[in-house]
Amino acid sequence: MSDSPRSAGRERFTDWAGQDDNAPELVAAATVVLLRDAPGGLETLMMRRSSKLSFVGGNWVFPGGRVDDDDFPAEQPDDIFAASRVAAVREAAEESDLVIAADDLVPYSHWVPPTTINKRFATWFFLAPAPSGSVTVDGGEIKEHAWWRPADTLARHKAGEIDMVPPTFITLMELTGHLTVAEALAAARGRADDIPHYETHIALDDGVPVSLWHGDAGYDTHDAAAPGPRHRLTLHKGGWQFEQT
């Protein structure tokens, strides 16, 4: 990342997050991946958004949403990273009825969507241990929820049973490598000085959409056929394929 998220104020957000003057405006957002230990292994809280919503309607997501003006702490009025932490806590409470502590949030990744979509949310992803208590959804914006192991969620997606977006897919894919909440949180803390930043470029490979990220040979040119290193997710209908070489 070219700049520290903790020093990126509201007035500097679009520069730090990679805003393109010709693209739809970026809106700050936050997502929290709630984790719990279960007999079958690590599980994450997944929520299905109403199909009537204009943004990722019908998709299975983690709790999250946009950063509101009231999320900026009084002592840090221009700190988007601090506001994102507050937003993550607030959204978890609003969407799942679970109350988490801001200090339990572990920064995990930051995502900037491609310039080709109309609603662009530059989103901080956090991991957090799920608190005790029952999940309650409003039945409006969120239609249902489930605690699933990451591998099982990915299997449902591959089978065409559920829809999701690439940031959710990549996060779940990475979490399949962890057996417990403690292990996942420790790994996230271990990369605190090099948190992944995904600014997505889109290309086509024989008509199939490909999400390209920094380090891919075709990233700057939006050329899926460019020879060289790979850091991409190819959105095949029969199952998405991630490559990083």
Q: What is the tens place of the pLDDT at every residue in 54-79? A: 888 999 999 999 999 999 999 999 99
- Determine the residue type at 241: Q
Total-model pTM: 0.90
Q: Check if the beta carbon of residue 105 is closer than 8 Å to that of residue 85.
A: yes
Residue carrying structure tokens 């809106």: 27
Report the pLDDT averaged over residues 194-220. 97
Report the pLDDT averaged over residues 131-151. 94
Q: Considering the chain, what is the average pLDDT of its residues?
A: 91
- Is residue 8 pLDDT above 90, yes or no? no
- Express each pLDDT in 152-180 by its tens digit: 999 999 999 999 999 999 999 999 999 99
Percent over 70 (pLDDT), the chain = 91
What pLDDT, on a 0 to 100 scale, did the predictor assign at position 13? 42
- Is residue 243 pLDDT above 80, yes or no? yes
As a whole number of angstroms, the distance between CA 162 and CA 154 comes to 9
Q: Please, which pLDDT band fits residue 117 given cuts at 50, 70 and 90?
A: confident
Backbone angles phi, psi at 207, to 5 degrees: 85, -5
What pLDDT, on a 0 to 100 scale, did the predictor assign at position 20? 55
117: left (phi > 0), else alpha (psi -120 to 50), else beta? beta
User: 5-164 domain in CATH 3.90.79.10?
Assistant: yes
Residue carrying structure tokens 């889109």: 202
More confident residue, 4 or 83: 83
- Is residue 121 pLDDT above 60, yes or no? yes
Q: Which residues contact 77 (CB under 8 A, 6 or more apart)?
A: none
As a whole number of angstroms, the distance between CA 149 and CA 184 comes to 13
As a whole number of angstroms, the distance between CA 6 and CA 100 comes to 21
* SS (HEC) of the chain: CCCCHHHCCHHHHHHHCCCCCCCCCEEEEEEEEEEEEECCEEEEEEEEECCCCCCCCCCEECCEEECCHHHCCCCCCCCHHHHHHHHHHHHHHHHHCCCCCHHHCEEEEEEECCCCCCCEEEEEEEEEECCCCCCCCCCCCEEEEEEECHHHHHHHHHCCCCCCCHHHHHHHHHHCCCCCHHHHHHHHHHCHHHCCEEECEEEEECCEEEEECCCCCCCCCCCCCCCCCCEEEECCCCCCEEEEC
Task: Kindly report the length of the chain.
Answer: 245
Q: Please, which pLDDT band fits residue 2 given cuts at 50, 70 and 90?
A: very low
Domain ranges within the chain, ordered by starting residue: 5-164
